[in-house]
Structure 1
C-alpha cells in the first residue's frame, strides 16, 4: 500500500470517526458503513477492510469498547471486502447500485451484530427481531450517506488522482 492510499485511508477514517461521534444522537445512523462501501468501490477490498478495522477501534476508543467491537470489526471488514469486490467486478458501479448494496449492508451489519448476544446469552432470534427497526434506521442512513457522500468523495479522489498521476508522468 503506497503513501497515497494510506493518506486517503487516514482521511476516510477521520471522517468516519467524527461522523460516528456526531450522529450518536440518532440510533444506528452513522456514516461508517457508507464510507467503508465507498472506500471499497474506489480503493479496493483491502483498503476497505483496513478502513473498517481502523474506524472500529478508533471510534470505539471514544464511544466505548466491549465484546461488540469484535463483531463490528467482522461486519465492517466483510462489508468492505464485498464492496471492494463489487467495485472490481463492475467498473461502472452506479450510485443506485451502491444505494441498494448499502441498504443490504445495513441489515447484514445488524445480523452480524446480533451474533454478539448469541455468543453471550445463547438467544439470537428474539434479539435480532427486536433490533430490526434499528437495522432499518441503519439501512436508510446508509442510503442517504451514499447519496450525499459518494459524488463528493469520488470527485475529490478522481481530481487528486488525475493531478497526482499527471504530475508524475510529466516530471
Structure 2
C-alpha cells in the first residue's frame, strides 16, 4: 500500500469512530452502517475492509474485549462485501437504505448467535427478544439516515476527492 492509501484508511477509520461517538448517547441511532456503505462505494471493498478492521480494533482498545467484538469483526466486513456486490448493479439510495434497514433489524439477531455460542441457546434467544425494540429503532433509523444522506454525501465526497486527485471506485 502507498502512504496515501494508509492515510486514507486511517481517516476513514477515524471517521467511523468519531461518527459512533457523536451519536453514542442516542440508543441504536448510528451512522457507522451508512459510512461503511459509503466508503465501500467510494473507495472499494479493500480500503473499506481495512478501515473496518482498524475501526473494530480501535473499539477493542476503547471498550475492552467482549463477545460482541467477534460479531463486529464479522458483521462489518459482511456489510462491506454485500455493498460491494450490490454496487455493481446499482447505486440507488433506496437499495442501500433497504440494506441498511435490514442490517439494523437483524443486528441483535446476529449478536444473539454469538451469545448462544458462549452462553447457550436460551440465553441467545432471551438476548435477541429483549433487544427487538432497539433493533426496530436501529433498522428504521438506518433506513432514514441512508435515504437522506446518501446522495448528498456521495456527490460531495466525489467532488472533493476529484479536486484532491484521490482515486475512487
**TM-score relative to the length of structure 1:** 0.81
2:39 corresponds to? 39
1:169 corresponds to? none
Q: How has the CA–CA distance of structure 1 residues 7 and 96 changed in structure 2, closer, same or farther, with 3 Å as cutoff?
A: farther
1:120 corresponds to? 118
SS at match of 1:44: helix
CA drift of 1:163 comes to 2.6
- Structure 2 residue runs without a partner (length 5+): none
Q: For residues 141 and 60 of structure 2, what CA distance do their matches in structure 1 show?
A: 20
SS at match of 2:30: coil
Aligned CA RMSD, in angstroms, stands at 2.3
CA drift of 1:22 comes to 2.1
- Structure 1 residue runs without a partner (length 5+): 167-171
Q: For residues 73 and 50 of structure 1, what CA distance do their matches in structure 2 show?
A: 11
Q: For residues 111 and 31 of structure 2, what CA distance do their matches in structure 1 show?
A: 17
Superposed, 1:9-158 pairs within 5 Å as 9-87=9-87, 89-90=88-89, 92-123=90-121, 124-158=124-158
Q: How has the CA–CA distance of structure 1 residues 141 and 107 changed in structure 2, closer, same or farther, with 3 Å as cutoff?
A: same
- Alignment deviations for residues 32-85 of structure 1 (CA, whole Å, 9 cap, x no partner): 111111112222222222222221221343234312111111111111111112
